[in-house]
A and B are shown apart, each in its own frame.
Chain A
Amino acid sequence: MTTSATTPMPPTTPTPPAPGASRRVDPSAAVARTTSHSSFQETLVQTLAMAWRALKKMRRKPEQFFDVLIQPLLFTAMFAFIFGGAISGSVSDYLPVLIPGILAQTALTVCMATGVQLREDMDKGVFDRFKSLPIARIAPLAGPMIADLIRYGIASVLTLVTGLVIGYRPGGGVLGCVGGIVLTVIAGWSLAWIFTWLGTMARSAQSVQGISMMIMFPLTFLSNAFVPAETLPGWLEAFVKVNPVSHVVSAVRDLLNDGAVTAEVGWAVIGCAVVVAIFAPLAVRSYSRKM
């Protein structure tokens, strides 16, 4: 039916798949062929196959892009007009502070969806098959996260565009903007491992949602995303300064507003790397245990 022209199979072999469908299955040969774990290259292929699956699902269920589309539009405009005057004196003065903050907040919201969707997905029968296949345990987790890069990308670009429409003029120029968005996407992807871990631990998708909210709100609002840290009481300022989200926000501000790759950018990247280094193994371990 769909013998696509791209298939590099020689036309002389009508039944290419099984090396001789009539040949008998040989258990001893099969045992000899087994490997004790997936190689790095196999893991990569498996992860990409899982990403392919996630992309197919996205295409079929466009409603899951709702949060990615609405939140940037709504929150950017709302926060700009409500807090602009109070915090920075005017909306246009507030936008350079706000846009990087909203970018971080949006990225975190998308992360949350990553965890919730993974949990939902894991309850389906097909995960039984994934678990019964000889694939690296990280592939079913990392695959959807790669596909989610698209969601982070859409959310970040939309936020920035909304800002531009309202009157934001980033001083960092095109390069600064690209840098800011790339950093947002990296940060979103890294922080998503926390929520993926939650997804493998929690009992239901609802509980992932609940726990994620409790993590997300303090992380975004107890940061410098919307207000300057200096205006806060001392104890809170101390927390805000160690909050990784603050570093990401500061770094994105530096990139967007000044086009400068500052130490904050370095800290943000290191912070992201640390989050991945801690939570990726935790997530894989908890997923394997669940089998």
Chain B
Amino acid sequence: MADLDAVRADGLVKDFGDFRAVDEIDLHVRQGEIFGVLGPNGAGKTTTLRMLATLLPIDGGHAEIFGVDVRREPHRIRQLVGVTGQYASVDEDLTARENLRLFARLQGLTSARAKAIAGDLLERFGLQEAADRPLSQFSGGMRRRLDLASSLITRPPLIFLDEPTTGLDPRTRGQMWDTIRELVTDGSTILLTTQYLDEADQLADRVAVIDRGRKVAEDTPDALKTQVGDSTLQLGLADGSDLALAADIVRRLLAEDPVLTPESGRVNIPLPDPNRAADVLIGLREAGIGISSVSVAKPTLDEVFLTLTGHGADEPRTGESQAGEPWMEAAR
């Protein structure tokens, strides 16, 4: 049991009419890890998750969760997996407390235990103040927290989080990350989807990059970033005429070719090692070149995609003219 994968999916396929949303994706998630599925909107992340959660029929391939066949035993799978969706799947017409009590009762807890666990989760997720208020007064972050709390009632060993922090402000996002880490400390395994490399980097032990329904890479976040390349040092020069001189200094110091934007006097310098940023700055000062702005940019998801797939993350998929995510329509 201990060496059994939490998720073992081979060759997963999902078709919506002529459109292949998921094209032979393999996912092997080990017990106790946070596994990230990274990809742009419409890559097939949500569809993959929904198939594994028995919310969509699997059209091809094979999937097991803790050794239980997803297609053959959906009822068992539903007892093992807690699902937190991209859109909070809680009842808008009930209060937070009523939601939790309902979900607890539905999962066979006695009325008294349902009440107790609802109180406990509300406290743990900082919702006790708002517990008896209508959900219409809840912020996006509160809804997400309630949604996550709803998935934890029976302490499932595997938790699916579909874009858990999309649309949250940075502070709430940080809190959500902490909560997710706690879950793993408790022994749960987490499969999460995200559009943000940063999030995958912060949370995931391993990451699969999905593009147009296919898995294009799978590795640790660090390895992925190395593969993609470096941070960029972005400089704005006080005097645009210094541009050529600055470029020479950079070439001499780093042996890298900077990208120049003469119109705005900007220099973008690839930075294999962030420590070298200081060398460049010192070199420029010694040459008497004034700087109006400085920033260091980390590789973005877009750059990951460019490197891995040869096209940008937000470039529409060929043959997909409908706005948004067509499979979400079909899934509902």
Contacts and interface: CB of A to CB of B under 8 A. Distances in A.
Interface of A: 1-4, 6-9, 15-18, 21, 24-28, 30-31, 33-38, 42, 45-46, 49-50, 52-53, 56-57, 60-61, 123-135, 139, 291
A132 B102 contact: no
B187 A26 contact: yes
Contact of B1 (A9, A25, A28): A28
A291 B57 contact: yes
Given A60-B93, A125-B92, 17 more contacts: A2-B119, A7-B112, A7-B115, A31-B1, A31-B80, A35-B75, A35-B76, A49-B102, A124-B92, A125-B87, A125-B88, A129-B150, A133-B78, A133-B107, A135-B78, A291-B54, A291-B56
Interface in B116-172: 116-117, 119-121, 128, 131-132, 134, 150, 155-158
B298 interface: no
Contacts of A17: 113, 116-117, 119-121
Interface of B: 1-2, 4, 6, 31, 53-57, 66-68, 73, 75-76, 78-81, 83, 85, 87-94, 97-98, 102-103, 105-108, 112-113, 115-117, 119-121, 128, 131-132, 134, 150, 155-158, 186-189, 332
A8 B116 CA distance: 10
A134 B105 CA distance: 12
Interface of B is mostly: loop
Contacts of A131: 54-55
A37 B80 contact: no
A37 B76 CA distance: 8
A80 to B, nearest CB: 38
Interface of A is mostly: loop
Contact of B105 (A9, A52, A125, A291): A52
Contact of A24 (B53, B92, B115, B187): B187
Nearest to A139: B106
Given A17-B116, A126-B91, A134 B150 contact: no
A222 B47 CA distance: 47
A45 B108 contact: yes
Contact of A36 (B76, B81, B107, B158): B76
B76 to A, nearest CB: 4
Nearest to B118: A17
B329 to A, nearest CB: 11
Of B56, B91, B103, most buried by chain A (CB within 10 Å of CB) is: B91
13 contacts: A25-B155, A25-B186, A26-B157, A31-B80, A34-B79, A36-B76, A126-B91, A132-B55, A132-B78, A133-B103, A134-B78, A135-B78, A291-B55
